[in-house]
Amino acid sequence: AQTVTQSQPEMSVQEAETVTLSCTYDTSESDYYLFWYKQPPSRQMILVIRQEAYKQQNATENRFSVNFQKAAKSFSLKISDSQLGDAAMYFCAYLIPNNDMRFGAGTRLTVKP
């Protein structure tokens, strides 16, 4: 079974600082995709970044980057220069092609001014 684990229920960061959110997953598949979604108080799911498992290069999207360690089955999200608008729940998710997504339990990020 594919499972996604986010071991940090809550994280806090000072505005303009950097924070890293952890995610590990369990799978026997070789072809899969990993995602980080942001869920603000509106509860809409917003895609932050995605990583293809076959790519060795870590994905980056502006202030967001990942540290993808395939052998360790780890997929952490780094947010640089944190902004107040980054405060939200962050969900790590896993997808096998042509299948449903599996989500972690989420990490609530607080940004302190």
- Binding residue (CB under 8 A) for other proteins from 1, 43, 62, 71: 43
Q: How far is the CB of 41 from other proteins (least distance, A)?
A: 12
Integer CA distances (angstroms), 40 to 17, 36, 55, 59, 97, in order: 20, 13, 29, 22, 27
Task: Find out whether 61 and 48 touch, Cβ atoms under 8 Å.
Answer: yes
Q: How far is the CB of 44 from other proteins (least distance, A)?
A: 5
Candidate ranges 20-28, 43-51, 58-66, 70-78; the one touching other proteins (CB under 8 A): 43-51
Q: How far is the CB of 99 from other proteins (least distance, A)?
A: 7
The answer to whether 26 contacts other proteins (rule: CB under 8 A) is no
In whole angstroms, what separates CA 83 from the centre of its chain?
17
Instruction: Locate 4 and state its tokens.
Output: 């996604």
